[in-house]
């Protein structure tokens, strides 16, 4: 009965569109899907819009909302971007940030794959507790760790070099990635590995030829998270790097563009906007893998 009704409605009202079920209607769709989606989009995209328009606003417009519409630009300017790119070391900060983020992500992923595989598949005595301990390590806040880590960094002679960050970021990236990959490896059927074992494959061969190709979405998901965390990291970058030209973007733009209680909002927003682009591009390439890793892995 209901099928017939649905077909009739679909045939009469929306002959070319998707067929609607009996409980469905255009109004219902608008209320339950499009309005929440629009709200969501506005909330998510508004900060980027604000960053964008502030980047191109002259100071007089930024300061005076009585005579200027805060949500629009009357006389756009490139001064803020010029100041950022040509009066600061921004290109160099961006390069450093990218190099540090890529290196620490790669290092963390390699370590995490080995750790997660060992904990999930080798199932040695106490492996569950090791997994738990690694996760707990992630919960220790960097604001507690940065002083002891600074001592290690000094003793290794790494202070004020990018290696100080490349080697300390994994202290929070590895626990996070390991925890994420343990979950992902768990979803890959063990039978596949058993077959390989029967065929005489070693553990490393299984990892390289069976597990890792199946775990690509999980690896990408962990990689994206690790990259973003490294990109945005603040406290270690602040404590372990003192030379202005060697700083990462989040620390450097604050140092250079906040002068006492005078905030160069235009250039700050330009720095934030340009700084968020590499991460956005990185996401856009791998978004499908990322979603598939969250929605489930290999089906048995």
Partner 1 sequence: MDEITRRGSLALGAGALATAGLIGARPAGAAIPVADVPAPKQPIEAGATLRVIRPTKFVDPDETIWNANTEKFTKATGVPVRVDFVGWEDLRPQVAVAARTGAGPDVVVGWANDPHLYSDKILDMTELATYLGKKYGGWGALPQKYGKKFGSDTWIALPMGCGGGALVWRKSWVNEAGYSTVPDDLGKFLDLCQKLKKNGHPPGFALGNAVGDGNGTATWLLWAHGGYQVDDKGQVAINRKETIAALKYGAELYKTFIPGTLSWLDPSNNKAYIAEEISLTQNGVSIYFVAKNDPKTAHVAADTEHSRMPGSLNGKAPEAANTLNAMVFKHTKFPNAAKEYLRFMMEAEQYDPWLTKCLGYWAHPLLAFDQSDCWKSDPKIIAYRDAQKMQFWDGYKGPINAAAAAVSSEYVLVQMFAGVASGQQTPEDGVKEAERRLRRIYKS
Minimum separation from the CB atom of position 42 to partner 1 (A): 23
Of 79, 74, 63, 38, the residue nearest 263 (C-alpha): 63
- Give the contact letters, 146-165, x = binds to partner 1 (CB under 8 A), - = no: xx--xx--x----x------
19 binds partner 1 (CB under 8 A): no
H/E stretch holding 205: helix 203-206
262 binds partner 1 (CB under 8 A): yes
Let me know: does 18 contact 30? Beta carbons within 8 Å: no
Tell me how far CA of residue 21 lies from CA of 17, 35, 36, in angstroms.
Answer: 12, 20, 20
Which is closer to partner 1, CB of 88 or CB of 230? 88
User: Hey, CA dihedral for 269, 271, 275, 281, is it positive or negative?
Assistant: positive
CB of 64 to partner 1, least distance (A): 5
Q: Is 260 in the site for partner 1 (CB under 8 A)?
A: yes
Interface positions, 58-117, toward partner 1 (CB under 8 A): 59-60, 63-66
Q: Residue 137 or 158: which CB sits closer to partner 1?
A: 158
Sole binder of partner 1 in the list 77, 111, 244, 292 (CB under 8 A): 244
- By CB under 8 A, is residue 259 in contact with partner 1? yes
**Residue 220 lies near partner 1 (rule: CB under 8 A):** no
Total number of residues shown for the chain: 300
Q: What are phi and psi of 259, to 5 degrees?
A: -115, 95
Other C-beta atoms within 10 Å of 196: how many? 18
Q: What angle do CA 265, 270, 271 make, to 5 degrees?
A: 100
User: Is residue 134 close enough to count as binding partner 1 by CB under 8 A?
Assistant: no
Give the residues lining the site for partner 1 (CB under 8 A): 59-60, 63-66, 146-147, 150-151, 154, 159, 235, 238-240, 242-244, 251, 254-256, 258-263
């Amino acid at each position: 009965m209901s099928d017939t009704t649905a077909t009739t409605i679909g045939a009469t009202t929306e002959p070319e569109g998707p067929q609607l079920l009996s409980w469905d209607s255009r109004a219902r769709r608008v209320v339950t899907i499009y309005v929440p989606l629009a709200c969501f989009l506005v909330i998510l995209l508004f900060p980027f819009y604000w960053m964008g328009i502030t980047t191109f606003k002259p100071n007089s417009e930024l300061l005076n909302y009585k005579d200027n519409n805060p949500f629009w630009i009357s006389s756009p300017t490139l001064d803020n971007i010029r100041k950022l790119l040509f009066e600061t070391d921004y290109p160099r900060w961006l390069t450093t940030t990218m190099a540090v983020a890529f290196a620490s992500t790669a290092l963390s992923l390699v370590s995490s794959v080995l750790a997660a595989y060992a904990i999930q598949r080798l199932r040695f005595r106490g492996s569950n507790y090791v997994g738990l301990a690694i996760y707990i390590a992630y919960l220790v806040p960097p604001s507690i760790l940065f002083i002891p880590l600074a001592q290690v960094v000094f003793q290794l002679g790494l202070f004020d070099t990018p290696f100080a960050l490349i080697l300390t970021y994994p202290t929070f990236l590895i626990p996070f990635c390991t925890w994420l990959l343990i979950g992902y490896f768990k979803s890959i059927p063990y039978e596949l590995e058993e077959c390989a074992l029967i065929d005489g494959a070693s553990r490393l061969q299984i990892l390289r030829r069976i597990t890792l190709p199946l775990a690509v979405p999980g690896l990408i998901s962990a990689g994206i998270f690790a990259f973003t965390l490294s990109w945005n990291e603040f406290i270690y970058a602040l404590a372990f790097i003192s030379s202005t030209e060697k700083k990462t973007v989040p620390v450097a733009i604050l140092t250079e563009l906040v002068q006492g209680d005078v905030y160069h909002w235009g250039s700050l927003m330009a720095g934030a906007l340009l700084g968020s682009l590499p991460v956005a591009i990185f996401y856009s390439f791998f978004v499908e893998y990322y979603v598939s890793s969250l929605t489930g892995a290999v089906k048995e």
